[in-house]
Amino acid sequence: MYKLAYQTLKKNIVFFGFYVVLVIVVEQFFEINSGLSFVLGAILALYTHRMILLDENYGPSDLFKRHGPNGQKPPMFSFFLVSGIGLLVFMLIVGVVFYLLFHLILGENLDDKEQLAGALFLSIIPAAGVYGIVLSLIGTVFPLSLSGQIEV
């Protein structure tokens, strides 16, 4: 898998370089929020998944085209929807773990902001493990959505 990832990076280095410059310019000149950050990350994930799984090569101008190199339209909406649902599931798991950790184990001292921030940070670790289990059960949804086999 590392060999394939390296070959993909080597073939598409211009695309990734252009994308990094685009993200830096957007962050410097516009006030970037978490929604825009999610969209930019999802676009990068979409194209990277398609490069690896479908052996497609992209250039900088392909970001602005409606069709991929093979003529197939990348399923942006379904991939964003699946990614958004995945993000919401992770946030829900973090919220449940945070509630259990903060309210049941540490008590309900809402005045201590450092303890609140530490509990939130610590809740990400077990939540990531639970999310890994969830992804192992339904993880094939992401590749199916980007190859166009799941349409929303």
DSSP secondary structure code for residue 74 in this structure: P
Tokens 């999610």 label which residue?
38
Query: Alpha helix locations (H) across the chain?
Result: 2-11, 13-29, 34-54, 76-99, 113-138, 141-146
**CA 52, 93, 107 angle in degrees (round to 5)?**
145
Taking the C-alpha atoms of residue 36 and residue 27, their distance in angstroms, rounded to an integer, is 10
Domain shared by 80 and 141, yes or no: yes
124 within domain boundaries: yes
7 compared with 37, residue with greater pLDDT: 7
| Same domain as 35, residue 91 | no
pLDDT in tens, 98-122: 888 777 776 666 567 777 777 788 8
Output the CA–CA distances (angstroms, integers) from residue 99 to 24, 61, 65, 82, 102, in the order listed: 36, 46, 44, 26, 5
Domain match, 48 and 90 both: no
Which residue, of 64, 95, 116, is where some domain finishes?
64
Within-domain flag for 131: yes
Note whether 26 and 59 are same-domain residues.
Answer: yes
pLDDT tier, 86 (very low <50, low <70, confident <90, very high otherwise): confident
Compare 142 and 109 and report the one with higher pLDDT: 142
In this structure, are 86 and 137 located in the same domain?
yes
Q: Identify whether residues 86 and 117 lie together within a single domain.
A: yes
Does some domain include residue 29? yes
| 71 within domain boundaries | no
Number of domains in the chain: 2
Task: Look at 54-58, 123-127, 139-143 and tell me which has the smallest mean pLDDT.
Answer: 139-143
How does the average pLDDT of the chain come out, rounded? Answer: 77
Looking at residues 123-131, what average pLDDT do you find?
A: 86
Same domain, 81 and 111: yes
Q: Which pLDDT score, from 0 to 100, does residue 62 have?
A: 67
Are residues 53 and 85 both part of a single domain?
no
Residue 141 contacts by C-beta under 8 Å, 6 or more apart in sequence?
A: 82, 150
When pLDDT is averaged across residues 86-98 and rounded to a whole number, the result is 86
- Taking Cα atoms as reference points, which of 132, 8, 152, 19 lies closest to residue 80? 152
In the numeric block, the tokens 């950050």 are attached to 37
Residues 20-70: tens digit of each pLDDT? 888 888 878 877 776 777 778 877 877 787 787 777 777 776 666 666 666
Same domain for 133 and 106, yes or no, is yes
Same domain (yes/no): 102, 125: yes
Domain that holds residue 141: 76-146
Predicted local distance difference test score (pLDDT) of residue 68: 61
Distance CA 57, CA 26 (A): 24
